[in-house]
Homo-oligomer: A and B are copies of this chain.
Amino acid sequence: MKTNFNVPVKVNRSTKPDGTIVSVKGTDLGGKGIVIIAGPCAVENREQLFATARSVCKSGARILRGGAFKPRSSPYNFQGLGEEGLKLLKEISMETGQAVVTEVMDTRQIDLVSEYTDILQIGSRNMQNYPLLKEAGKSRKPVLLKRGMMATIEEFLLAAEYILDQGNYHVILCERGIRTFETSTRNTLDLSAVPMLKQLSHLPVIVDPSHGTGLRWMVPSMAKAAIAAGADGLIMEVHYDPEKALCDGQQSLSPDEFGILMADLRKIASAIGREIL
């Protein structure tokens, strides 16, 4: 395919035409199966995390998400529980058997976060934090790299290249909405990024319809659309009591809503010849 930029060599599909599979605790991301990641925006306390984790696990989420270090626009917002949050994630994941993904914001946190979790998330605001990308590349943990909210596809692939260039090929790309002039949604979910990234790169591609829309009622529509567009997985925010969430409650599904959505996603996956793992 012709593009208006050069696709960097290590992320380039031509170097691995069959695609990369990132395996985490026995779950394969990037193969025929579709992987669902779910959990709360932030780990708030034991009860909230455990109840939410158990429920999303029961509905079929293979991987648990939950933030311990939170990048918040305002210094006066809840900044996360830090190591205490990591410990809670570890504890519940040992019970449910799920893998855990959580965000790392600082090169100094990588060792600590790596101890407790299975996948390092690098968030949108840090997509071009090159020292962090390099350290994640050295860590050998799988990395879930979110597209910056104003990053081009080219820049997104170059950011991933920083990680691969350090020898770590276990990178999952995540489209999570870009910033545009439209304000009725929190971001504009760019689903065309899914086929584009799959075409240009061998890395698995997932979608975050929670941040992509910012609206709970819209998450199911866009989750279905993401699967239909060819995504290898989804990452979604679920909270056992969204109205009381310390962050992103307005875009978090309740456990019941998540359960219903999972059933719908299985139908869409089947319609395109895939299945939800």
Contacts and interface: CB of A to CB of B under 8 A. Distances in A.
18 contacts: A8-B76, A105-B129, A108-B108, A125-B128, A152-B184, A153-B184, A154-B184, A178-B188, A180-B181, A182-B190, A184-B196, A191-B191, A192-B221, A195-B221, A221-B229, A221-B230, A224-B228, A271-B271
A179 interface: yes
Nearest to A219: B195
Contacts of A165: 75-76
A212 B188 contact: no
Q: How many subunits of this chain does the assembly comprise?
A: 4
A189 interface: yes
A1 to B, nearest CB: 7
A136 interface: no
Given A150-B149, A227-B228, A191 B158 contact: no
Contacts of A179: 150, 181
A152 B158 CA distance: 24
A192 B180 contact: no
Interface in A229-277: 229-230, 264, 267-268, 270-272
Contacts of A229: 221-222, 224-225, 228
Contact of A129 (B108, B129, B189, B199): B129
Given A130-B72, A153-B184, A161-B75, A192 B212 contact: yes
Given A161-B75, A218-B195, A5 B184 contact: yes
A242 B220 CA distance: 36
A17 interface: no
A191 B129 contact: no
B218 A196 contact: yes
A97 interface: no
Nearest to A189: B192
Nearest to A214: B192
Nearest to A222: B192
Nearest to A152: B182
A161 B224 CA distance: 30
B150 A224 contact: no
A18 B254 CA distance: 27
A31 to B, nearest CB: 18
